[in-house]
Amino acid sequence: MSGTALTEQVLLSFGWAKDAGVQVLSGGHINDTYLIDGRYVLQRINHFVFPRPQDIIENMLGVTGFLREKLTARGGDPDRDILQIIPTADGRPVYIDDSGNYWRCTLHIGGTASYETPDSPDMLFEAGRAFGDFQSMLSGYPAVTLHEIIKDFHNTPARVQQLKDAIAADPKGRAKDVREEIGFALGREERAGLLMGLLNEGKLPLRVTHNDTKMSNILFDENTKKAVCVIDLDTVMPGLTAFDFGDSIRAGASTAAEDETDLHKVNFDLDLYRAYTRGFLSAAGAALTETELDTLPDGAWAMTFEVGVRFLTDYINGDVYFRVKRPGHNLDRARNQFHLALQMEERREEMGRIVREALEG
């Protein structure tokens, strides 16, 4: 275990032997994650990204407890269908080591795998169904009781203001070279405020949302490829259904990676959008209001536009937030996402029609 943050004391705190089998899991990008004796997933919560780990634990305990009751009532398998927190040897939900690190353990769900991208529309349907079911089961949970893990995480108008601040400061002198991209973003400021405006007017309900609905945050059965369990609950907090739906579409319905520089390869695929939408609404449709259903396509646009704004902001600021692999990487990402958002604008009517078709079965 030398060279890692994992110590014998951490193992002992959970009642494991100091020579327990430890395997480093490298799938995540934020927390340090280990598989212990092939049975448990142990994580050190990243203090830099999440300065209040106790809030994550409290949110997770509340949400998973609620989900376990729901799953049990409908005859599901709560040990397989939802993350189960394993307490420390003395019954605490988290271990805090001498350095102030928070360690959390969940039960490993065997016979499953996660995937970065879907290999078929059927898998995308399953992803939609999994996140839709997550949304539906939590529709009765009081979202206002949850901690806000990252302030204004999906507040699109706030992200536009951050871009304005970056342009005004212009620490690297880059703003003059990206006037076209700045114009694209600021020219859509009013549209970017649609969903938050509806929330503030009481026309959209505040929901429990996952806030990181990428493909790799679902475990699939290795044999059937059916979705089993939604994972990575660190960013569960109050939000809008359209944001969770939209974040999945942003990545899942694009024909290229978010940093593809050849924009001819970057296309919003309506067939992929349709597959995810059918899956999502097969599980969540009955739990959503008419306004939520009407604005699902706007969520897809908002999440794509917002991420593009964040990439552009980081480029102007000097690439201080997102990890880059080459000069101009964040600018390439911003152009990619704006290109995708523009296609969604052009196909907004058809996106809405697909939502209604999916509701009709």
- The answer, yes or no, to whether residue 48 has pLDDT greater than 90, is no
Q: Is the domain 121-359 a CATH 3.30.1330.10 member? A: no
**Token representation of residue 156:** 């699109």
Q: What are phi and psi of 320, to 5 degrees?
A: -100, -10
Q: pLDDT value at position 79?
A: 86
Q: How confident is the model at residue 5 (pLDDT cuts 50, 70, 90)?
A: low
Specify the pLDDT at position 28.
Answer: 57
Residue 24 Cα distances to 9, 229, 288, 323, angstroms: 17, 21, 40, 22
**Residue 122's pLDDT band (cuts 50, 70, 90):** very high
pLDDT of residue 27: 60
Q: What are the backbone dihedrals phi and psi of residue 329, each rounded to the nearest 5 degrees, phi first?
A: -60, -45
Q: Give mean pLDDT, residues 101-108.
A: 95
pLDDT of 3 reads: 39
Mean pLDDT of 190-211: 97
**Nearest one of 145, 320, 126, 317 to 229, comparing CA atoms:** 126
Mean pLDDT, to the nearest integer, of 149-155? Answer: 93
Stretch among 1-5, 58-62, 277-281 having the lowest mean pLDDT: 1-5
Q: Is the pLDDT of residue 234 over 70?
A: yes
Distance separating alpha carbons of residues 13 and 90, to the nearest angstrom: 8
Average pLDDT of the residues in 29-36: 85
Angle formed at CA 98 by CA 92 and CA 102, multiple of 5 degrees:
45
pLDDT tens readout for residues 201-210: 999 999 999 9
pLDDT at residue 1, as a whole number? 45
CA 203/CA 163 separation, integer angstroms: 27
Per cent of the chain over pLDDT 90 is 90
Confidence band, pLDDT 50/70/90 cuts, at residue 2 = very low
**Residue predicted with more confidence, 183 or 51:** 183
Instruction: Kindly state the average pLDDT of the residues 289-311.
Output: 98
Show me where the domains of the chain are located.
8-110, 121-359
Q: Inform me whether the pLDDT recorded for 55 exceeds 80.
A: yes
Mean residue pLDDT across the chain: 95
DSSP per-residue string spanning 116-130: SS-SSHHHHHHHHHH
* Sign of torsion over alpha carbons 15, 83, 224, 210: negative
**Residue 346 pLDDT > 50:** yes
**CA–CA gap between residue 156 and residue 170 (Å, rounded):** 21
| CATH class in words for 8-110 | alpha beta
C-beta separation of 306 from 156 below 8 A: yes
Q: Which two tokens stand for residue 215?
A: 């493909």
Give the pLDDT score at 29: 57
Higher-scoring residue by pLDDT: 119, 137: 137
Q: How confident is the model at residue 323 (pLDDT cuts 50, 70, 90)?
A: confident
